[in-house]
A and B are shown apart, each in its own frame.
Chain A
Amino acid sequence: MTGQTQSPSGLHGTVHVVPLRVLVGVFLALLALTFVTVAATWVDWGQWNLAIALGIATVKAALVALYFMHLRYDHPFNALIFVVGLVFLALFLAITTLDTQQYQPEIDAAVEAAMEEAR
């Protein structure tokens, strides 16, 4: 943010205005990527299916955050807050996944045994 030219009576001239063609370009890119992510399901990429879908979603999310949410032009501290949120999300998912993979075989075995018994 261009904080140097602070006007005492208002915000005019202190905040970045995103150019119209940038907003339109981002909007069109988001629509195109939505089409690409749907079109990607017409082909089976095997184990890459999920990675491709999430990769496209991440690019779209980055466009929204950088341009629609102004993070590219904003004070970096706001971007830091956003990134901290994503880091904690990643930690949350990673540690839970490690934990569930540790115990799932035992759970599956117990369920199988119970099913056997019921039969």
Chain B
Amino acid sequence: MSEATDAPAGKISEAGEAARHESEKHPEFLAHHFETPHQQFAAGKLGVWIFLLTEILFFSGLFCAYTVYRANHPEIFVYAHQFLDKNLGALNTAILIFSSFTMALAVRSAQLNRQRALVICLAITLLCALGFLGVKYVEYQQKWQHGLLWASRYNPSEHGENHAAEEAGGSAADTPAGEGSLAAGSSAERQSAEHAGNVPRNVGLFFSIYFVMTGLHGLHVLGGMGAIVWLIGRAARGAFSAEYFGPVDYVGLYWHLVDLIWIFLFPLLYLIH
């Protein structure tokens, strides 16, 4: 903080003097309102951390909704979580952790001036993000086919029949066999449970929370992918080096926060028991 904002006045004129003396050496990446690259970097990081703070508070509204509903209606969560696929959730957790790892490697590559490694690490991170959204798509499609949607559109039995007809029509090809049969099995279980009268009221509330939380998180993954594409473009043109890698670090911090939020979403939504 002190380095970033309130450097003593004497130091500023000294540094300004030094900058004038070697004005031909003034690096291109240093914005004119910063004295040193390090000051620019520290200020940028401070800015990103304040942005991450607003992101934590943004998501905390959803975590609060989750807490209130789970505290008051635990039976809905215990009943409804069985329609989420633990294995796909764990797979996505592993994918996101790996992408965080490659992002950390990308920052390290930039710090060590390894241009090729930087581009490769960023590209792997981007592919992992794509993989994460792909798995998410498979999961959402399963929910959609079984009518396991947010509260106002939650209608599993009606969709269950439609789904049987669709499957006869041959549209089951675009879902993995294991997950498809598992979801179909639990759907049948669900319907028999409904006949027995064991289904809690307002199960759709769980899916409202599920879709808003994972949906907002998915949008953040999408946003992160845009930022990584931008980084790859700049890295390929050789914009980053051991002297200047701020943007790689800033996007990295954001990406790790997206990972961190998923680390909590996974047990809260998938691992209820």
Contacts and interface: CB of A to CB of B under 8 A. Distances in A.
Interface of A: 1, 3, 6-12, 14-15, 17-18, 20, 23-24, 26-27, 30-31, 34-35, 37-38, 40-41, 44, 49, 53-54, 56-57, 60-61, 64-65, 67-70, 74-75, 77-78, 81-82, 84-86, 88-89, 92-93, 96-97, 100-101, 104
B52 A11 contact: no
Contacts of A56: 267
Given A64-B263, A84-B53, A97-B67, 11 more contacts: A6-B36, A18-B104, A20-B108, A38-B271, A41-B86, A54-B268, A68-B103, A68-B252, A89-B60, A92-B60, A100-B72
A30 B105 contact: no
Contacts of A3: 3, 38, 42
Interface of B: 1, 3, 18-19, 22, 25, 27, 36-38, 41-42, 45-46, 49-50, 52-53, 56-57, 60-61, 63-64, 67-68, 71-72, 86, 90, 93-94, 97-98, 100-101, 103-105, 108, 111-112, 241-246, 249, 252-253, 256-257, 259-260, 263-264, 266-268, 271-273
Given A27-B97, A31-B94, A69-B253, A61 B242 contact: no
Contact of B45 (A24, A60, A74, A104): A74
A27 B101 contact: yes
A47 B1 CA distance: 43
Nearest to B265: A57
Nearest to B48: A78
A17 B271 contact: no
Nearest to A43: B273
A93 B111 contact: no
Given A11-B244, A85-B53, A100-B71, A23 B105 contact: yes
Interface SS of chain A: helix, strand, loop or mixed? helix
Nearest to A86: B56
Contact of A57 (B57, B105, B245, B263): B263
A49 B78 CA distance: 12
B271 A27 contact: no
B41 A77 contact: no
Nearest to A17: B111
A44 to B, nearest CB: 7
